[in-house]
Structure 1
Amino acid sequence: MTVSFVCRTESALPPEKLFDLARSIDLHVDSQERSGERAVGGVTSGLIGEGQEVTWRARHFGIPITMTSGITEFTFPCSFTDEQIRGPFKSFRHVHEFEGTGTGSIMTDRVEFAAPFGLLGRVAERLVLHRYLHRLIRDRGHFLASISGHTGAP
């Protein structure tokens, strides 16, 4: 079983620009400053692309976590997908979609994940992880949208 959610963020930027901001390792690090997230392996700065991997280290819930994700799908400037290769989740998939509007673009984040540890993991998914990850992705979207001078929509 997996848990999923969707976040939509409006931006004044065109889809091509927002697409590149969303795959920037450096901006990801900036947006996750609170957790001390940093890239420690694979692509550690600049723009990540198709078939490339990055290993992240961060502290969430006071626990040090290491996760390697790879770009498994990439269609510039419409969408890209990153998926956990190694890490704390049983599975983790994040689809980033970009659509032009009359005033900029909308970024849609579709996240699906499953926690390990059977029944205990399913309880954690629903009681803690869903809300925590939704807020993290929403705040990251707002961070990227604020680069263009526009605050993102929830």
Structure 2
Amino acid sequence: MEKPYHFTDTMLEGAFKSMKHQHIFKVKKEDTLMVDIFEFESPLGIIGKMFSKFFLKSYLRKFLLQRNELIRKAAEGSL
């Protein structure tokens, strides 16, 4: 963590073979830009890679976008 500019979540145990989620905050004029970098690797070898390619990657992208929109609304007081 480099407060208030950056922090990273790293999975120690769970459903993924590996998972790392970086949150980077940048000042843009009077606003704050949040950049998410989400890296993951599915278990189960080739089957997991195929599942990630055809389903999981798209699902996780939509999930993060929806979650970030809720965070933005809460931060701006418009929830």
TM-score (norm 1): 0.48
- Rounded Cα–Cα distance in structure 1 between residues aligned with 2:30 and 2:58: 30
- Counterpart of 1:99 (choices 17, 26, 29) is 26
Shift of 1:104: 1.2
Match of 1:90 among 3, 17, 21: 17
Q: Secondary structure at the match of 1:85?
A: coil
1:110 paired residue number: 37
Q: How does 1:133-152 map to 2 (within 5 A)?
A: 133-147=60-74, 148-149=76-77
Alignment gaps of 5+ in structure 2: none
Alignment root-mean-square deviation, CA: 1.1
Q: Which has the higher helix share?
A: 2
1:32-70: CA deviation from partner (whole Å, max 9, x where unpaired): xxxxxxxxxxxxxxxxxxxxxxxxxxxxxxxxxxxxxxx
Which of 53, 61, 68 is the aligned partner of 1:126? 53
SS at match of 1:119: helix
Alignment pair present for 1:80 and 2:7: yes
**CA deviation after TM superposition for structure 1 residue 149, in Å:** 4.6
Q: C-alpha separation between the residues in 1 aligned to 2:32 and 2:51? A: 34
- Bigger share in strand: 1
Distance 1:103 1:75 in 2: 21
Identity among equivalent pairs (%) = 30
Structure of higher RCO (CA pairs closer than 8 Å, 6+ residues apart): 1
How many equivalent residue pairs?
77
TM-score norm. by structure 2 comes to: 0.92
Q: Which ranges in structure 1 are unaligned for 5 or more consecutive residues?
A: 1-73
Give the 3-state SS of the residue equivalent to 2:59 in structure 1: helix
- The 1-side partners of 2:66 and 2:40 are apart by 18
